[in-house]
Amino acid sequence: MSAVAGTPAPTGSTGIVRPEFDLADPEFWKLPAPTRAAAFAELRRLPAPVFFTERPAAGRRPAKGFHAIVRHADVVEASRTPAVFLSGPGVTTPEPARWVRALFGDSMVNLDDPRHAQLRRVVSRAFTPRLLERAEDDIRRVAARLVDEVIERRPEDFVTDVAAELPFQVICNMMGIPQEPRRAILDQVNRASEHIGVERPPRSRIRIPGRGLRALARMQGMVAELGRERRRRPTEDLISALVAADVDGRRLGGRDLGAFFSLLLVAGVETTRNALAHGLHLLSAHPEQRALLLSDLDRYLAGAVDEIIRHATPIIQFRRTLAADHDLNGTRLAAGEKVVLFFGSANRDEAVFADPDAFDITRSPNPHLGFGGGGPHYCLGAHLARQEMKVLLRELFTRLPDIRSVGEPELIPSNFDNRVRSLRFTFTPPGADAR
Ligand code: HEM
């Protein structure tokens, strides 16, 4: 294991030996994926979670830190005990600045009950079976058009031209966003979320958030305006349902709508895009799994999608803060302490998954935590994401059966999402020779 930081030392309360790598150090997240996977395997073998100290920013704030929750059973328990493991203090690492939340409102991922339950009920009520049925027809239409364009234009990058387009267009169609501002919104999503990664050149550290936040404010203003318009003249889109849904006397106001749309864009577009890109690469790197999938798409597609999500784990981690002392499978955690739930590590837990590093589309059962560990914050879009992936992979492999990635994906180091910047790909167009 190539060490990143620190020398072995006892970890205070637990008394166990500290490993030689540091999950709180951005350098750790630049290590090759197999090296990081080996580090998490080492953490899973230890008898208790290890505490990692974060460095104070610019020497001003006091050092903070977190217990790394790396086992499947522990991630599940923390996720399903929301009264103790709070999301309200923030789920991302590092935490967003307070003024950002004050200005843009809270999205439900950062709320606890009763506000979380209230908001989630309003949103769940708006996701009617009729809306989801229409979304499924739309996914099929958008996927078919994307594959038409791939055949016609033969783009080189699978990420921007194929994988990102599908979830983005589907969410915009669901929300009823007009065509005109869509390109600018997508550019904005790509820019605003780049700074979540750990690879930040010094200049962009200063520039991107400022520019990104202005664009975000414009986007949220636009969605709030659409909300006012739909309240006057409702249509069949999600915004109309959100402003009309009245649960416990509550409906979404302009600020809530803006925050929800931003959450959908980041939570729903980035994740699905990265899952699809990892999916094409995994199926290209494992020809025997690909042959099996193509031998019977009806039989293997659903399993392949879940195995892609387990293996790639698009969202690496979420943070929680303890509201009270709690024994997590034998370890005493104190009120006020933070834990980070590492979904990727849980998805490779040898106690749950046989041969966890293998990519096996027939794995059954496959109780992965790619959409979270259960509990009230479980991914709202899990069904939609699975549907998008199934429809696009079916369309691609049916019409372009030899489609495959070329070389390795270009990854963006990040402690938050397993992000692919670009992935080259090739295929034989229908009725032509291989290129
Ligand atoms: C492969 C694609 C996706 C993955 C891997 C993924 C993963 C996740 C994860 C890990 C969480 C946190 C769960 C927790 O804390 O227990 C989450 C929450 C969420 N996801 Fe997804 N997601 C995906 C697609 C989507 C899509 C397409 C949408 C939009 C419709 C969406 C909307 C949300 C929302 C709104 C939340 C917050 C729920 C809450 O706090 O109550 N996700 N997702």
- Residue with the smallest CA separation from ligand 1 atom 34 is 380
Q: In angstroms, rounded to a whole number, what is the distance separating the alpha carbons of residues 119 and 260?
A: 10
What was the pLDDT predicted at 1? 38
Please check the confidence at residue 157 and state whether its pLDDT lies above 80.
Answer: yes
**Ligand 1 binding pocket includes 131 (Cβ within 6 Å):** no
pLDDT digits (tens, 9 = 90+) for 278-290: 999 999 999 999 9
**Ligand 1 binding pocket includes 264 (Cβ within 6 Å):** yes
What was the pLDDT predicted at 212? 56
- Residue with the smallest CA separation from ligand 1 atom 20 is 379
Please give the residue that has the higher pLDDT: either 79 or 245: 79
Cα first-last separation, the chain:
40
Q: In angstroms, rounded to a whole number, what is the distance separating the alpha carbons of residues 279 and 331?
A: 37
Return the amino acid letter for 414. S
Pick from 9-23, 310-324, 368-382: least confident: 9-23
- Residue with the smallest CA separation from ligand 1 atom 16 is 372
Q: In angstroms, rounded to a whole number, what is the distance separating the alpha carbons of residues 236 and 244?
A: 11
Q: What share of the chain has pLDDT > 70, as a percent?
A: 82
Reported as type and span, the H/E element at residue 263 is: helix 254-264
Q: Is residue 146 part of a domain?
A: yes
Q: Is residue 3 part of a domain?
A: no
Residue pair 381/268 in contact (Cβ under 8 Å)? The answer is yes
Ligand 1 pocket test: pick from 75, 124, 379 the residue with the most ligand atoms within 8 Å of its Cβ: 379
Pick from 100-104, 250-254, 331-335: least confident: 100-104
Q: In angstroms, rounded to a whole number, what is the distance separating the alpha carbons of residues 59 and 377?
A: 34
Per the DSSP assignment, residues forming a β-bridge with 68 are 340
What was the pLDDT predicted at 36? 96
The domain tally of the chain equals 1
Per-residue tokens: 100: 């950002």
Q: What share of the chain has pLDDT > 90, as a percent?
A: 57
**Ligand 1 binding pocket includes 93 (Cβ within 6 Å):** no
Residue ranges making up the domain that contains 231: 12-422
Q: In angstroms, rounded to a whole number, what is the distance separating the alpha carbons of residues 272 and 270?
A: 6
**Ligand 1 binding pocket includes 392 (Cβ within 6 Å):** no
Residue 252 backbone class (left: φ over 0; alpha: ψ -120 to 50; beta: rest): beta
pLDDT band at 215 (very low <50, low <70, confident <90, very high): low
Query: Measured in angstroms, how far is the CA atom of residue 379 from the centroid of ligand 1?
Result: 3
Mean pLDDT across the stretch 129-152? 93
Query: Measured in angstroms, how far is the CA atom of residue 429 from the centroid of ligand 1?
Result: 35
Query: Measured in angstroms, how far is the CA atom of residue 127 from the centroid of ligand 1?
Result: 14
Pick from 76-90, 234-248, 275-289, 394-408: least confident: 234-248
Q: Is residue 7 part of a domain?
A: no
**Is 181 buried (19+), middle (13-18) or exposed (0-12) by CB count in 10 A?**
middle
The angle that helices 254-264 and 202-232 make with each other, rounded to 10 degrees, is 130
Ligand 1 pocket test: pick from 371, 383, 386, 392 the residue with the most ligand atoms within 8 Å of its Cβ: 371
C-alpha distances (whole Å) from 237 to each of 121, 170, 234 are 18, 12, 8
Query: Measured in angstroms, how far is the CA atom of residue 355 from the centroid of ligand 1?
Result: 27
Q: Is residue 429 part of a domain?
A: no
pTM of the entire predicted model: 0.91
Which atom of ligand 1 sits closest to the CA of residue 343?
A: 10
Q: Is residue 75 part of a domain?
A: yes
Q: For residue 357, how many other CB atoms are within 10 A of its CB?
A: 12
Q: Is residue 375 part of a domain?
A: yes
The DSSP code sequence of 294-327 is HH-HHHHHHHHHHHHHHHH-SB-EEEEEESS-EE
C-alpha distances (whole Å) from 180 to each of 149, 177, 183, 230, 266 are 20, 9, 7, 18, 20
In terms of Cα–Cα distance, which of 42, 72, 33, 2 is closest to 342?
72
- Residue with the smallest CA separation from ligand 1 atom 9 is 371
Per-residue tokens: 405: 């990635």
Which atom of ligand 1 sits closest to the CA of residue 313?
A: 5
Please check the confidence at residue 297 and state whether its pLDDT lies above 90.
Answer: yes
Strands, E, within 308-379: which ranges? Answer: 317-322, 326-328, 331-333, 338-342
Per-residue tokens: 272: 């699905």
Sign of CA dihedral 351, 355, 361, 363: negative
The CATH number assigned to the domain holding 62 equals 1.10.630.10
Residue pair 339/67 in contact (Cβ under 8 Å)? The answer is yes
Q: Which residue has the tokens 């915004």?
A: 239
Q: In angstroms, rounded to a whole number, what is the distance separating the alpha carbons of residues 390 and 305?
A: 7
Q: In angstroms, rounded to a whole number, what is the distance separating the alpha carbons of residues 93 and 426?
A: 37
pLDDT digits (tens, 9 = 90+) for 330-376: 899 999 999 999 999 999 999 999 999 999 999 999 999 999 999 99
What was the pLDDT predicted at 116? 92
Give the 3-state DSSP-derived string for 37-99, with helices as H, strands as E and coil as C.
HHHHHHHHHCCCCCEEEECCHHHCCCCEEEEEECCHHHHHHHHCCCCCEECCCCCCCCCCCHH
Residues 6+ apart with CB under 8 A from 194: 200, 204, 208, 412
Strand 338-342 relative to strand 64-69, pairing: parallel
What was the pLDDT predicted at 205? 36
Q: Is residue 430 part of a domain?
A: no
Mean pLDDT across the stretch 239-248? 78
Residue pair 319/340 in contact (Cβ under 8 Å)? The answer is yes
Which atom of ligand 1 sits closest to the CA of residue 116?
A: 41
Query: Measured in angstroms, how far is the CA atom of residue 107 from the centroid of ligand 1?
Result: 12
213-217 own/partner pairs: CB under 8 Å, 24+ apart: 213/100, 215/184, 215/188, 215/191, 216/104, 216/188, 216/192, 216/262, 217/103, 217/104
C-alpha distances (whole Å) from 171 to each of 133, 261, 266 are 14, 9, 11
